[in-house]
């Protein structure tokens, strides 16, 4: 299966507009943003678990990143409420489940093979740091090699400098409205910009975005 699999292409989607597709496990549905492969795939998806759903134990040969958008997600290592970031490194395994139901943003098979650190960050409690311009604050989530994952919060009327992304950039708009010279992206928007792409982002209304860079090469 190939869905927006050419990483050299810019893609803009509103995940709320996409259909839910079934998975091999009853009670788990997916909105597929990009995908290269079958059930074992390099993939980016929004995943919905119905209450009481249990997934079988499985390994992630090339790692997994999860951001809990809504509800409460669990596995044998813990329970993760909305706003929690989880990085499961290459070679890790788990048996995910949910008692109450949840909505997740999930990236599979994008991590560096040598990135062996598991991370769990409750972003509602973690610290924010001043960004490069006034009105911008950043919460680093994961860094390894060229890859960087972070939450970025934009106060209303915040404008950033024009810049280029080595290794590309991927954005999920979590709250508010994010903008650049190419368009306006409300919450639920997913933007993938390829290696060496450039833009000048801003937010007139304020927003929070989940950003990953350096992985599209």
Predicted local distance difference test score (pLDDT) of residue 57 = 85
> pTM for the full model?
0.96
Taking CA 153 as the corner, what is the angle to CA 150 and CA 159, rounded to the nearest 5 degrees? 115
Domain match, 59 and 94 both: yes
Find the length of the chain.
217
| Domain's final residue, options 122, 155, 171 | 122
- Point out which residues pair with 144 in neighbouring strands: 147
For position 151, what pLDDT does the model report?
98
38 with 69, same domain: the answer is yes
- Specify the number of domains making up the chain: 2
- Do 156 and 103 belong together in one domain? no
Predicted pLDDT at 38 = 83
Domain of residue 135, CATH code:
2.60.120.10
Are 110 and 145 in contact, with CB atoms under 8 Å apart? no
In terms of domains, do 168 and 195 share one? yes
| pLDDT given for residue 37 in this prediction | 87
Question: Which of 122, 148, 174 is the last residue before a domain boundary?
Answer: 122
Q: Is residue 81 situated within a structural domain? A: yes
Residue with tokens 């259909």: 19
Is residue 153 located within the same domain as residue 107?
no
Q: What is the pLDDT of residue 58?
A: 82
Look at residue 60 in the predicted model and tell me its pLDDT: 82
Are 110 and 139 members of one domain?
no
- pLDDT tens by residue, the chain, 217 residues: 999 999 999 999 999 999 999 998 999 999 999 999 887 789 999 999 999 999 888 888 889 999 999 999 999 999 999 999 999 999 998 999 999 999 999 999 999 999 999 999 999 999 999 999 999 999 999 999 999 999 999 999 999 999 999 999 999 999 999 999 999 999 999 999 999 999 999 999 999 999 999 999 8
Q: Do 187 and 173 meet the contact criterion of CB atoms below 8 Å apart?
A: yes
CA distances from 203 to 28, 40, 117, 198, 208 (A): 34, 37, 33, 17, 10
Q: What is the pLDDT of residue 111?
A: 94
Q: Strands, E, within 38-157: which ranges?
A: 41-49, 58-60, 64-75, 78-81, 84-88, 92-94, 102-108, 119-122, 129-130, 136-144, 147-154
- CA separation for the pair 144, 159 (Å, rounded): 27
Using DSSP's 3-state secondary structure scheme, residue 90 falls into coil
Range of the domain at 98: 18-122
Q: How many of the other CB atoms lie within 10 Å of CB of 141?
A: 21
Instruction: State which of 122, 137, 157 marks the end of a domain.
Output: 122
**Residues 105, 22 share a domain:** yes
């Amino acid at each position: 299966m190939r869905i927006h699999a050419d990483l050299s292409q810019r893609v803009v989607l509103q995940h709320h507009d996409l259909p839910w597709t079934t998975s091999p496990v009853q009670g788990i549905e997916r909105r597929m943003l990009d995908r290269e492969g079958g059930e074992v795939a390099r993939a980016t998806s929004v995943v919905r678990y119905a209450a009481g759903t249990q997934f079988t134990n499985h390994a992630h040969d090339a790692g997994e990143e999860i951001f809990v958008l809504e509800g409460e997600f669990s596995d044998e290592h813990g329970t993760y409420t909305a706003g929690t970031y989880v990085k499961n490194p290459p070679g890790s395994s788990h048996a995910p489940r949910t008692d109450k139901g949840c909505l997740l943003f999930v990236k599979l098979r994008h991590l560096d093979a040598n990135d062996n650190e598991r991370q769990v960050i409750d972003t509602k409690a973690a610290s924010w740091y001043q960004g490069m311009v006034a009105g911008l604050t950043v919460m680093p989530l994961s860094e390894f090699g060229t890859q960087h994952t972070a939450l970025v919060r934009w106060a209303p009327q915040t404008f950033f400098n024009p810049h280029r992304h080595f290794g590309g950039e991927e954005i999920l708009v979590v709250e508010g409205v994010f903008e650049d010279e190419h368009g306006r992206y409300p919450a639920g928007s997913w933007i993938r910009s390829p290696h060496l792409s450039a833009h000048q982002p801003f937010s007139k209304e304020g927003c929070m975005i989940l950003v990953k860079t350096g992985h599209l090469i």
